[in-house]
Amino acid sequence: MTTTQFIGAARLLTRILGAILLLNAGLAAQAAGILEITGATDRPNILLLVADDLGYSDLGAYGSEIATPSLDALAESGVSFTNFHAAPTCSPTRAMLLTGVDHHLAGLGNMKELMAENQAGQPGYEGHLNERVVTVARLLRDSGYRTYMAGKWHLGRGPGLLPRDRGFERTFAMLEGSGNHFSNKGILPFRSTSFVSNGEPVERPDGYSTDLFTDKLIEILEADRGDGRPFFAYAAYTAPHWPLQAPDEDIEPYEDAYQSGWDELRARRFEQMKRLGLIREELTLPPHWPGVPTWDSLTPEEQRIQARKMAVYAAMVTNMDRNIGRLIAYLRRSGQLDNTLIVFLSDNGADGADLETRLPAGMSRLQLSVYRTWLWLKFDNSLANLGREDSFFSYGLPWAEVGSTPLFLYKGVVSEGGTRVPLIMSFPGKIPAATRSEALCSVMDLPAAFLELAGVSHPGNRYGERDIHPIQGRSLMPLAEGRSENVYADDRPLGFELIGNGALIRGDWKIMRINEHFSDGKWRLFNLKDDPRELRDLSKQNPDRLAEMQRLYRTYAEEHGVIELPPDYFDNW
């Protein structure tokens, strides 16, 4: 036997053994009554890519000037969604993304960091992914998939709560919601970030966060390549979440890009979105959000600082895009790209926090004082140093308004600017290229799509020996493949609630209540088809519709165990 023949025979044997292992894993799970496998054994890989706090218009394919060639090419090869919704903040979205179940049932009814006293520990408010849901990673692993994760977890820490405990076979994860992008410094005084690899604590290796997570995921993918089993890989990036930091070489191309300011940039994005067909031609640029000054009202020094902040943000997005390109290139080199569904989304809208004037929500006045002192003592936010490891800043309301173009408000709010995010799905030969969907859909619909592709049925109300919530999302695959124009019927409502903010969408209509900290807490009614910017409150013209949708929202809140905030919740904000 020649060397070439020997290698060929070895590869064939490896694939046969892999298929046997996959079949045995699936049969064992079926025998235990855990799941039903309905598809063929030659199943596709799934690569799930998540950005952290990326705004709706921050990709080239969605109207941005930021260089994102890898994601733009992904959009050209697949379908882009323009009416896709996440939760208003990160951990609730991630809970729904991995389970297909509303975050109030999955354990993140509120973010752990913002939990009210009357919520903490109540069903659905455990502050971590609870045992009444099963992750798509677990179901895919039961069916024979390899399951991998690298990046931000933010769904629990401690025994039984790590990625390894929730279905991921090989992992490299940061447990906190965010941290320094160059080191293990945390975002709060006296706290560092925690990393685990395959369930065990590890020291953070050197490297910029997005580069590091990509390196680790490629390393994990390569370790099992050729074993004949498909993979589900979850790349959970922490970019472009604050603190805004990026390598100097990524910032340099944007040094002069934002000197003209946010007014001009927002107008340019708005017109580019029209040219791309993302918004209707007759729409006009909305007025500034409350609290956003005009660029010309700033001093020259303030303009230079603000332009630098946006340059660092853009550098983070471009760096992430390049790393996504590395993952795609790896799949191409290894011969796996043509059999891989690639999904990209942001976990919520652009973040309007400004760490110098509008500090993180939920802190008491004493905590804010300590926080400001810590920032002043530990970090150098001089103009020349912005973006480096020892700087610590975010970009604030005006640039977040640009990121949300043309939508209203930002992360943390149930407005379209807080919940409507980019979604791209690409699968050569299965999803038509260069297509777009305007259908209403939700992050809960992605797990159902992954299970459909893998030929796996969700177990319903029971997984093994425990009761669970059935999956609530509906598969996006018919929509992505052009087999259907809708996921939700016009009369099926989609509810939202977080931090006292509530909303419900049914068809083209939406009601929204923004809490007293951000607004007046009154219910308003919008037609999103005519007014995606949420400028015109139609509640007085349509009182019956408002009342009916309020009734539907109350039903949503009751069925999902929503616990309202106490009256004094915002007193110290």
Residue 256 belongs to some domain of the structure: yes
Which of 90, 104, 181, 458 is catalytic? The answer is 90
**Which residue intervals of 159-223 are DSSP H helices?**
209-223
Under DSSP, the state recorded for 338 is: G
Q: How would DSSP label each residue in 388-423?
A: STT-----HHHHHHHHTTTSS--TTSSSHHHHB--E
Which of 85, 103, 128, 154 is catalytic? The answer is 154
Residue 14 belongs to some domain of the structure: no
β-sheet bridge partners, residue 466 = 463
Spatial CB neighbours of 353, under 8 Å, sequence gap ≥ 6 = 242, 359, 360, 361, 394, 396, 411
Residue 163 belongs to some domain of the structure: yes
Residue 11 belongs to some domain of the structure: no
Per-residue buried b or exposed e for 46-55, using 16+ beta carbons within 10 Å of the residue's own CB: bbbbbbbbbb
Residue 312 belongs to some domain of the structure: yes
CATH code of the domain containing 131: 3.40.720.10
Q: Give per-residue pLDDT as tens, 116-161.
A: 999 999 999 999 999 999 999 999 999 999 999 999 999 999 999 9
**Within 10 Å of residue 184's Cβ, how many Cβ atoms?**
16
What are 57's two structure tokens? 């218009």
Q: Contact, 161 vs 129, CB < 8 A?
A: yes
Residue 177 belongs to some domain of the structure: yes
Predicted TM-score (pTM) above 0.85: yes
Average pLDDT over residues 515-543: 93
Spatial CB neighbours of 313, under 8 Å, sequence gap ≥ 6 = 240, 244, 395, 399
Q: Contact, 414 vs 521, CB < 8 A?
A: no
Average pLDDT over residues 151-173: 96
Residue 27 belongs to some domain of the structure: no
pLDDT of residue 40: 44
pLDDT of residue 13: 45
107/196 Cα distance (integer angstroms): 22
19, pLDDT greater than 50: no
- When divided into structural domains, the chain yields a total of 1
Residue 426 CA, distance from chain mean position: 17
Mean pLDDT of the chain: 91
Specify whether 90 is catalytic: yes
pLDDT band for position 12 (50/70/90)? Answer: very low
pLDDT band for position 41 (50/70/90)? Answer: low
**Full residue range of the structural domain in which residue 72 is found:** 32-559
Q: Contact, 242 vs 393, CB < 8 A?
A: yes
Q: How many residues does the chain have?
A: 573
pLDDT of residue 14: 41
Q: Give per-residue pLDDT as tens, 385-412.
A: 999 999 999 999 999 999 999 999 999 9
Q: Contact, 227 vs 162, CB < 8 A?
A: no
Q: Give per-residue pLDDT as tens, 229-270.
A: 999 999 999 999 999 999 999 999 999 999 999 999 999 999
CA angle 508, 509, 510 (to 5 degrees): 130
Average pLDDT over residues 361-368: 66
Specify whether 154 is catalytic: yes
Residue 490 belongs to some domain of the structure: yes
6, pLDDT greater than 60: no
